[in-house]
A = this chain, B = another copy of it.
């Protein structure tokens, strides 16, 4: 028997199941895979043999389509960094042998690629040639190196762009002075915050200010920048990444938490947006509201980018394809050839080029004052949000699949 094991890891996205569907589709059509197993809750679940046969549940076009359009990780996930003990790797291989696993595809971000890296090195060093281990990329953060962008990012960017466009319309309706602050995810990189500029793709308004973790934040400059907005507008819309830091490298959210305590004596953990809200309240004094896009930015499958879902699926197919061809320790990625028209090809790279590295937003894609993005960012983002997913609704609500 030559069985496939596939698992998901790290923060969920609205496209990670499209990659899973791609892996399974390739398994079905290759004729080289006997059984498809899903590892529940990633490598952590695999270590406790939480492994389930999923092939039969995905044998119809309907179930496969539903999987593509179901957000979050249909196999569950984990945040678990493999230790370096040989007995851990030995245990994993023993479990693989028990389930007759010949191919293991692990879908995740840079931590997950670290797992793929270690496991494939262990196999190589121990002469294990009949188990191929491949990674498949995933993260809304878009912070993986080598690949032009990551699966899941396009949908998150589309959610942020559309929601931003709608929020801009909502903010505009009153004629009184106000500010709205939108906080996005992105602990170390500003790709998600930058995506807010997509609200302007059809000529609509864009946020006045966008702050990324790549640029040190200065309170005084911020207050001056906001005051300048009110010279021509009754409202100010400001986007901030959760990971923005000051010149000393202190996260804005941590600055706040050291000061405030709640009724139970806890320090407040409110975030970068709330920090900006307080700066505006104190120094400008108008009505101000903070919106956190929270989990919605990573799970809004109903608004998925068709481009993202298609690419995510292709990368899953490519990962298993390489494994079927005897390749191990690699990850397929997207190489952009042209932006307009958008063309790309899928390559593969050693996971050692991915694991533990991080791709920042290029500073040349920001405006001169570094408080917003420029047209280079929009050119980069535009192809990634094209097309609307064909979500199947029933009773007014999208249909989702449950694998475990």
Q: Which residues of A contact B (CB under 8 A)?
A: 8, 12, 14, 41, 44-45, 70-73, 76-79, 158, 161-163, 165-167, 169-175, 180, 198-199, 201-202, 204, 255-256, 258-264, 266, 268, 270, 274, 278, 281-282, 289, 291-292, 294-296, 298-303, 305, 307, 382, 385-388, 393-400
- Bound Cα distance from A400 to B270, whole angstroms: 33
Which of B71, B72, B165 lies in contact with A400, CB distance below 8 A?
B165
* Besides A76-B173, A163-B296, A289-B294, 10 other A-B contacts (C-beta < 8 A): A79-B174, A158-B396, A158-B397, A165-B398, A166-B296, A170-B295, A171-B295, A180-B295, A385-B396, A385-B397
A71: chain B residues within 8 A (beta carbon): 166, 169-170
| Chain B residue with Cβ nearest A262 | B260
The reply to whether B395 and A201 contact each other, CB–CB distance below 8 Å, is yes
The reply to whether A256 and B260 contact each other, CB–CB distance below 8 Å, is no
| Chain B residue with Cβ nearest A396 | B385
Q: Which of A264, A397, A400 has the most CB of B within 10 A?
A: A397
The reply to whether A397 and B163 contact each other, CB–CB distance below 8 Å, is no
Which of B167, B174, B175, B302 lies in contact with A162, CB distance below 8 A?
B302
A305: chain B residues within 8 A (beta carbon): 396
| Chain B residue with Cβ nearest A167 | B295
Which of B281, B307, B382 lies in contact with A264, CB distance below 8 A?
B281
The reply to whether B386 and A167 contact each other, CB–CB distance below 8 Å, is no
- Bound Cα distance from A327 to B81, whole angstroms: 71
- Bound Cα distance from A160 to B274, whole angstroms: 24
| Chain B residue with Cβ nearest A283 | B264
Q: List 28 A-B contacts (CB under 8 A).
A: A12-B169, A14-B166, A41-B174, A72-B166, A72-B170, A72-B172, A77-B173, A78-B175, A79-B174, A158-B396, A161-B396, A162-B302, A163-B296, A165-B400, A166-B296, A166-B301, A167-B299, A170-B295, A198-B396, A204-B400, A260-B268, A266-B281, A270-B270, A291-B292, A291-B294, A296-B296, A307-B396, A387-B396
CB distance from A202 to the nearest CB of B (A): 5
Which of B79, B158, B256, B263 lies in contact with A259, CB distance below 8 A?
B263
Which of B173, B175, B180, B291 lies in contact with A72, CB distance below 8 A?
B173
Given the known interface contacts A201-B397, A387-B396, A393-B388, the answer about A170 and B298 at a Cβ–Cβ threshold of 8 Å is yes
The reply to whether A263 and B292 contact each other, CB–CB distance below 8 Å, is no
Given the known interface contacts A12-B170, A294-B289, A397-B199, the answer about A76 and B175 at a Cβ–Cβ threshold of 8 Å is yes
The reply to whether B169 and A400 contact each other, CB–CB distance below 8 Å, is yes
Which of B174, B202, B261, B300 lies in contact with A399, CB distance below 8 A?
B202
| Chain B residue with Cβ nearest A258 | B263
A70: chain B residues within 8 A (beta carbon): 169
A400: chain B residues within 8 A (beta carbon): 165, 169, 202, 204
The reply to whether A162 and B78 contact each other, CB–CB distance below 8 Å, is no
Which of B12, B14, B172 lies in contact with A76, CB distance below 8 A?
B172
The reply to whether B167 and A296 contact each other, CB–CB distance below 8 Å, is yes
